[in-house]
């Protein structure tokens, strides 16, 4: 037999309760109960405003306030009973409020609708999540900065196409991700500033005839201002889309770093050793130490980007203002947020715990003719060759070294002079990896002095 208790919330319009299938597809309490704190905060602000405007009595407002605080305590201690028949968090809270305080509970919904209520709750939840995300990203930046500081002058190969390109420093490579995450933080901050408008008081879609003070409720809930158009306020989910879009970009950055950690921790590279806390073994191969945390982080972008595409698809064909389709917005955002925060936390742990193998980095830095560009630059600077000619001469010398099974610093001077007579033994000063990185002194370059300057800049930013 279907529970018809929800009918009291609808009044006299519906004589019979929904059947089990309709109840299941219509209910959202299974996931929107996560917005309980935000829902109660919104209701408290609304009740206080109603009393201040003389729309409800101070006595009723006080009863509502005390009742909402009781409900919040019940939820926080796990004593609150969420009922699917009551559909969503809003009606669950209101029904419990009526049980606690009686008639005054019915006055809480004056001058508002579930449409502006859910828009406010969801906006508050996403805003809170952005604050949590920013804190997590900054913590990860600090972990990367610690690695950069420790190895500001440690040489390692820089790559293009995953082929050795030019020597760089470990500190420089770590700072690249600090920069990426800095852009991520700025995107979230921009999104937060844009979303910080309060929908509460726009009611179902057209506003209300009650003399409400929307500025007061906006201030009470930490918003910068009330939303200026009631239709847009109810219909808008841009704030959730911006959150997911920013999360997708940031998760992509985490995935790139995760991929490098997978490669670097392999036996073939041995650039880093990941701690046991973020690795697993094999059920059959006792020698294995698998970078599972990194691999799972690498996969999270698919889940988060999927949520982004999913919400865009939900919203793309909806006329103004509210449609029940919009109930499908929250699960995707909640899931993406959970997985994004897990990825950030796991990456921070891995970065803090990992150990860079300085000797392996150095050995790899000198392989693959990584100082060939330094040789070409020397030919331009010292002998006045056009760069294209210097590029050709260097290419020939690389081919000679490859044929002899040696790297450029080991190629005999006579072989170099056979290709261009102006080459002197001074060329060997630029062919060492330390000299190579030290010479890249342009702003943003890999020279240790530049790396340390950027470390100092980021330390100041992140304090």
**Residues that are catalytic:** 161, 282
Taking the chain, what is the end-to-end CA distance rounded to the nearest angstrom? 61
**Do 265 and 274 form a contact (C-beta atoms < 8 A)?**
yes
- DSSP 3-state assignment of 366? coil
Task: Return the C-alpha torsion angle 408, 414, 418, 423, nearest 10.
Answer: 70
Q: CA 124 to CA 39: how far, in whole Å?
A: 9
**Do 146 and 84 form a contact (C-beta atoms < 8 A)?**
no
Tokens representing residue 438 in the block: 């030290």
Q: Is the Cα torsion angle 163, 165, 170, 175 positive or negative in sign?
A: negative
Contacts of 293 (CB under 8 A, 6+ apart): 274, 278, 279, 346, 349, 350
Residue 318 DSSP code: P
167 φ, ψ to 5°?
-65, 140
Residue 164 DSSP code: E
Place of tokens 């609150």: 80
Q: For 380-441, give the DSSP string.
A: HHHH---HHHHHHHHHHHHHHHHHHT--GGGS-HHHHHHH-TT--GGGHHHHSHHHHHHH--
Contacts of 405 (CB under 8 A, 6+ apart): none
**Do 301 and 342 form a contact (C-beta atoms < 8 A)?**
no
Contacts of 126 (CB under 8 A, 6+ apart): 195, 239, 240, 243, 333
Query: Of 132, 102, 124, 131, whose CA–CA distance to 43 is shortest?
Result: 124
Q: CA 133 to CA 249: how far, in whole Å?
A: 13
Q: CA 294 to CA 307: how far, in whole Å?
A: 21
């Amino acid at each position: 037999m279907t529970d018809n208790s929800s009918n009291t919330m609808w009044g006299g319009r519906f004589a019979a309760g929904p059947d089990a299938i309709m109840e299941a597809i219509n209910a959202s309490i299974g996931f929107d109960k996560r917005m309980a704190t935000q829902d109660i905060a919104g209701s408290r602000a609304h009740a206080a405003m109603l009393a201040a405007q003389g729309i409800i009595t101070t006595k009723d407002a006080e009863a509502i306030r005390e009742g909402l605080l009781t409900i919040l305590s019940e939820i926080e201690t796990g004593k609150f009973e969420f009922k699917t028949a009551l559909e969503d968090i809003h009606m669950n809270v209101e029904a419990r409020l009526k049980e606690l305080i009686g008639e005054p509970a019915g006055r809480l919904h004056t001058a508002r609708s579930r449409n502006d209520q859910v828009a406010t709750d969801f906006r508050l939840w996403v805003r809170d999540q952005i604050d949590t995300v920013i804190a997590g990203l900054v913590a990860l930046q600090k972990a990367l900065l610690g690695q950069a500081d420790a190895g500001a002058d440690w040489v390692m190969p820089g790559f293009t196409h995953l082929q050795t390109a030019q020597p760089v420093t470990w500190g420089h490579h770590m700072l690249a991700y600090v920069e990426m995450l800095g852009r991520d933080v700025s995107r979230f901050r921009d999104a937060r500033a844009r979303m910080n408008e309060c929908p509460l008081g726009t009611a179902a879609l057209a506003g209300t005839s009650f003399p409400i003070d929307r500025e007061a409720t906006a201030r009470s809930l930490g918003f910068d201002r009330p939303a200026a158009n009631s239709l847009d306020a109810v219909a808008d989910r841009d704030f959730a889309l911006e959150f997911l879009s920013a999360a997708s970009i940031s998760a992509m950055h985490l995935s790139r770093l995760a991929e490098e950690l997978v490669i670097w921790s392999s036996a073939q590279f041995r650039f880093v050793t990941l701690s046991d806390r973020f690795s697993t073994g094999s059920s059959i191969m006792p020698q294995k130490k698998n970078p599972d945390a990194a691999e799972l982080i690498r996969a999270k972008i698919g889940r988060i980007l999927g949520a982004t595409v999913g919400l865009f698809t939900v919203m793309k064909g909806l006329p103004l203002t509210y449609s029940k389709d919009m109930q499908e917005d929250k699960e995707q955002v909640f899931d993406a947020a959970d997985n994004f925060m897990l990825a950030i936390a796991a990456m921070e742990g891995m970065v803090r715990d990992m150990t860079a193998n300085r000797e392996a980095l150095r050995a790899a830095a000198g392989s693959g003719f990584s100082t060939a560009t330094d040789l070409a630059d020397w030919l331009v600077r010292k002998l006045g060759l056009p760069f294209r000619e210097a590029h050709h001469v260097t290419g020939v010398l690389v081919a000679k070294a490859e044929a002899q099974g040696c790297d450029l610093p080991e190629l005999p001077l006579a072989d170099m002079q056979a290709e261009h007579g102006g080459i002197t033994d001074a060329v060997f000063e630029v062919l060492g990896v330390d000299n190579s990185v030290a010479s890249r002194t342009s702003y943003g370059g890999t020279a240790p002095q530049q790396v340390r300057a950027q470390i100092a800049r980021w330390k100041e930013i992140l304090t």
